[in-house]
């Protein structure tokens, strides 16, 4: 059997560059770039690229060998080597940031190398984040620091293994250079180690790509981009026509709803749901100040920049998905005779979100669709009860999975309920578990209607409720170790997060509630938009 090629030997295809209008001046200076969908741009070399982490499973899917710590493959993963088949580019897009139109944004520190054909025949684009300035860097340097890069690498892969629609990460490479950042925008800028992440997705096209073309009146480019996406990523919808554009928007809305429903049922908070951070494929994209609920709180956001309005708080994510789709519909309006026809997509989003979230919750609770009205009332009553009790969502559902078989038997389970809450709740002034205790009684009664034997019920619930998620304090611990050259915490965390539904008895500490020391420590609970 022939050996797999190294990354620097991969054959790249370049349909985005070959089929869409772009500018090829090679000028990296920040500037407006009207009339184009992208700019050809070369990555800027770094001092000492060396591999910190590699996703073996994703590498195998792409048909690539695991690289050595240093060498041509890692040079290419850092941007120091551009091979003959690569045509690096930075995409041009705009977007609404915190509800305000920001005009041209674009790939300010991400450079796409092109696509490779995976072993399953799918084409995957590979993009280097932190590889240097582009015309869209504005006031930035195009670089990324180790802390944000490690978090993106880990979370991209962790979300994949949780079953959440997401972009992925192939590698994490240290650059040997320092990058100056003001972590909390408070005037305390400091040098930090730099890094580059190789991100992978079928495409990184966003809602904002279409928004900027529409806002600039570039209707020919808008249509060309829409037709490109239809050809390459939605071929099942048929040739481009006004009717196809409507069906396409409906499908984008459906995929977006499924993504948001997964976020809501795994307790993930994206943190920066600007329209330029919304994938046209319904994938979680751009892992900045994200977080998992600790404790359950609909108004919680991990993003310090969003503390004033909490626009992107956990409970706002369904509404923000709709808001962003409305912005995309407005951008696509010039392509259809009656823009009102796009409202079908918004209806699809609302219906799909509700149905998917309900179905996912039923699965987490070990319930089948036997009593629709009663089940709807049951699932709708759970979030406020979790919030009132200050419960850790991940621990609650995992422990409920273990408890459920005992609840099938009638009897007094008050002691078991209290034990569950002792494990899962963060006791705070004003919290009360009365509503959640009452809910657990209702749930136990409903559970007894299920025909599955207790052992099957428990196994199904454990397969739906992860024990391990990438809590911010765990990522911060791995970051601090990696900054000193110790990669053991990163490697351990990565291995455990690849099988988040397994027990991993040797790593129980990675499933623990957030410790008190992490409540207010920078990077361990909340973060800023700083790289």
| Axis crossing angle, helix 207-215 with helix 317-332, rounded to the nearest 10 | 40
In the set 107, 276, 375, 392, the catalytic residue is 276
DSSP state of 529: S
Query: Do residues 372 and 352 share a domain?
Result: no
Residue 136: phi and psi, rounded to 5, are: -105, 15
pLDDT in tens, 455-473: 999 999 999 999 999 999 9
Query: Do residues 174 and 320 share a domain?
Result: no
- If 0-12 CB within 10 Å is exposed, 13-18 middle and 19+ buried, where does residue 414 land? exposed
Query: Do residues 265 and 414 share a domain?
Result: no
Query: Do residues 392 and 309 share a domain?
Result: no
Q: Using the 3D structure, point to which of 462, 489, 523 is the last residue of a domain.
A: 462
Catalytic-residue membership of 276: yes
Closest CA to 174 of 417, 444, 486: 486
pLDDT in tens, 335-358: 999 999 999 999 999 999 999 999
Contacts of 308 (CB under 8 A, 6+ apart): none
Query: Do residues 16 and 162 share a domain?
Result: yes
Q: Kindly report the CA angle at 285 between 518 and 256, in degrees rounded to 5?
A: 115
pLDDT of residue 325: 98
Query: Do residues 87 and 182 share a domain?
Result: yes
Query: Do residues 44 and 103 share a domain?
Result: yes
Query: Do residues 410 and 262 share a domain?
Result: no
Closest CA to 287 of 178, 169, 133, 131: 169
CA distance 64 to 393: 37
Query: Do residues 183 and 286 share a domain?
Result: no
Query: Do residues 16 and 87 share a domain?
Result: yes
Query: Do residues 112 and 58 share a domain?
Result: yes
- Where the chain has pLDDT below 50, the residues are 531
Confirm whether 507 is domain-assigned: no
Confirm whether 501 is domain-assigned: no
DSSP state of 195: E
pLDDT of residue 1: 59
Confirm whether 517 is domain-assigned: no
Confirm whether 323 is domain-assigned: yes
Q: Using the 3D structure, point to which of 205, 237, 256 is the last residue of a domain.
A: 205
Query: Do residues 287 and 305 share a domain?
Result: yes
pLDDT of residue 192: 96
Closest CA to 6 of 94, 116, 109, 100: 116
Which structural domain, as residue segments, surrounds residue 194?
7-205
Q: Using the 3D structure, point to which of 446, 462, 478 is the last residue of a domain.
A: 462
């Amino acid at each position: 059997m022939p050996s797999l090629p190294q990354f620097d030997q991969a054959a790249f295809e370049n349909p985005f560059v070959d089929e869409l209008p772009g500018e090829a001046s090679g000028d990296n200076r920040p500037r407006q770039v009207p009339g184009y969908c992208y700019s050809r741009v070369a990555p800027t070399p770094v001092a000492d690229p060396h591999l910190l982490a590699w996703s073996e499973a994703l590498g195998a899917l792409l048909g690539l060998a695991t690289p050595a710590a240093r060498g041509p493959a890692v040079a290419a993963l850092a941007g120091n080597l551009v091979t003959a088949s690569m045509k690096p580019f930075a995409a041009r897009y705009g977007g609404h940031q915190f509800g305000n139109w920001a005009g041209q944004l674009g790939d300010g520190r991400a450079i796409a190398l092109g696509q490779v054909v995976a072993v399953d025949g799918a084409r995957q684009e590979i993009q280097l984040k932190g590889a240097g300035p582009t015309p869209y860097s504005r006031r930035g340097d195009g670089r990324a620091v180790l802390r944000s890069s490690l978090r993106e690498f880990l979370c991209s892969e962790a979300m994949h293994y949780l079953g959440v629609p997401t972009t992925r990460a192939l590698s994490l490479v240290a650059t040997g250079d320092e990058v100056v950042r003001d972590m909390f925008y408070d005037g305390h800028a400091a040098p930090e180690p730099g890094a580059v992440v190789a991100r992978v997705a079928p495409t990184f096209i966003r809602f904002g790509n279409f928004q900027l073309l529409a806002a600039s009146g570039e209707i020919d480019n808008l249509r060309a981009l829409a037709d490109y996406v239809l050809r390459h990523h939605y071929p099942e919808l048929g040739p481009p026509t006004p009717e196809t554009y409507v069906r396409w928007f409906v499908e984008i809305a459906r995929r977006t709803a499924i993504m948001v429903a997964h976020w809501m049922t795994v307790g993930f908070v994206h943190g920066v749901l600007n329209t330029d951070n919304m994938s046209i494929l319904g994938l979680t994209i751009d892992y900045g100040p994200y977080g998992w609920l600790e404790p359950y709180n609909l108004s919680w956001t991990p993003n310090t920049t969003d503390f004033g309005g909490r626009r992107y708080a956990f409970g706002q994510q369904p509404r923000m998905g709709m808001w962003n789709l409305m912005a995309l519909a407005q951008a696509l309006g010039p392509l259809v005779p009656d823009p009102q026809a796009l409202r079908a997509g918004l209806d699809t989003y609302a219906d799909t979100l509700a149905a998917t979230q309900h179905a996912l919750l039923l699965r987490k609770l070990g319930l089948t669709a036997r009593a629709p009205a009663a089940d709807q009332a049951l699932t709708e009553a759970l979030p406020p009860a979790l919030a009132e009790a200050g419960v850790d969502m991940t621990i609650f559902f995992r422990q409920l999975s273990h408890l459920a078989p005992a609840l099938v038997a009638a009897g007094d389970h008050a002691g078991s309920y209290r034990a569950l809450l002792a494990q899962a709740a963060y006791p705070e002034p004003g919290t009360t578990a009365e509503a959640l205790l009452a809910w657990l009684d209702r749930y136990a009664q409903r559970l007894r209607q299920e025909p599955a034997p207790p052992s099957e019920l428990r196994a199904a619930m454990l397969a739906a409720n992860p024990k391990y998620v990438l809590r911010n304090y765990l990522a911060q611990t791995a970051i601090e170790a990696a900054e000193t050259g110790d990669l053991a915490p990163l490697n351990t965390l990565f291995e455990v997060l690849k099988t988040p539904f397994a027990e991993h008895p040797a790593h129980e500490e990675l499933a623990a509630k957030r410790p008190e020391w992490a409540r207010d420590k920078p990077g361990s609970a909340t973060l800023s938009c700083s790289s």
